[in-house]
């Protein structure tokens, strides 16, 4: 059940997807998150910004939660961990960031999957749940995403969820220490995947 506050959505929010449940990260998730990220490091690093030297520490996780709460409270973003319904295991995460109000009414979505859980449909179900949340609960009109040009798994996930490829952005994000070109994708509320 979603619980709304006057400033936005609070940390008791839960989203349901096909075989997954999403909720904001909590300090109690630290150990499972750190173990999953550690086991998946080589799998994730080619597609993510460079990890700080202390990225997997408890204090870094606490800082991460503080930033997530600030973004949520300001209405700028929402972070979710994705849990598999069958056993409650953490399988990855989906973030909705850079929420823009006014003329744009848009946000950007990002996601990650632990290596053991990749390509099993959990993250696509999570992305779908977060896009529904963006359109139905937040009232946004557009959700954008980007992936490295050689990340076929991410490109296929976005297309499966209903995003449309919109072009190429040169040197768009600094991934694993290098500026990388990205494919850009968009989904609007009126698209079949947005409904």
| Contact indicator for 122, 92 with CB cutoff of 8 Å | yes
Quote the pLDDT of residue 3.
38
Calpha distance 171→148 (Å, rounded):
10
| Contact indicator for 158, 145 with CB cutoff of 8 Å | yes
pLDDT in tens, the chain (195 residues): 343 333 344 567 899 999 999 999 999 999 999 999 999 999 999 999 999 999 999 999 999 999 999 999 999 999 999 999 999 999 999 999 999 999 999 999 999 999 999 999 999 999 999 999 999 999 999 999 999 999 999 999 999 999 999 999 999 999 988 999 999 999 999 988 776
Residues 149-177 as b or e (16 or more Cβ within 10 Å = b): eebeebbebbeebbbeeeeeeeebbebee
Whether pTM exceeds 0.75: yes
Calpha distance 13→93 (Å, rounded):
15
Quote the pLDDT of residue 130.
97
């Amino acid at each position: 059940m979603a619980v709304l506050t006057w400033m936005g959505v609070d940390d008791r929010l839960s989203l349901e997807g096909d075989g997954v449940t999403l909720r904001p990260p909590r300090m109690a998730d630290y150990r499972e998150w750190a173990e999953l990220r550690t086991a998946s490091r080589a799998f994730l690093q080619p597609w993510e910004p460079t990890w700080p030297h202390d990225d997997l520490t408890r204090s870094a996780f606490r800082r991460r939660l503080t930033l997530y709460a600030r973004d949520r409270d300001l209405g700028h973003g929402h972070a979710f961990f994705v849990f598999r319904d069958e056993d409650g295991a953490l399988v990855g995460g989906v973030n909705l960031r850079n929420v823009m109000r006014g003329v744009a009414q848009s946000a950007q979505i990002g996601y990650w999957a632990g290596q053991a859980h990749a390509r099993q449909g959990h993250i696509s179900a999570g992305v779908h749940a977060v896009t529904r949340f963006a359109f139905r609960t937040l009232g946004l009109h557009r959700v954008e995403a980007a992936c490295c040009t050689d990340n076929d798994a991410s490109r296929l996930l976005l297309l499966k969820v209903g995003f449309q490829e919109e072009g190429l952005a040169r040197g768009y994000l600094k991934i694993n220490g290098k500026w990388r070109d990205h494919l850009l994708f968009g989904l609007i509320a009126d698209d079949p995947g947005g409904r």
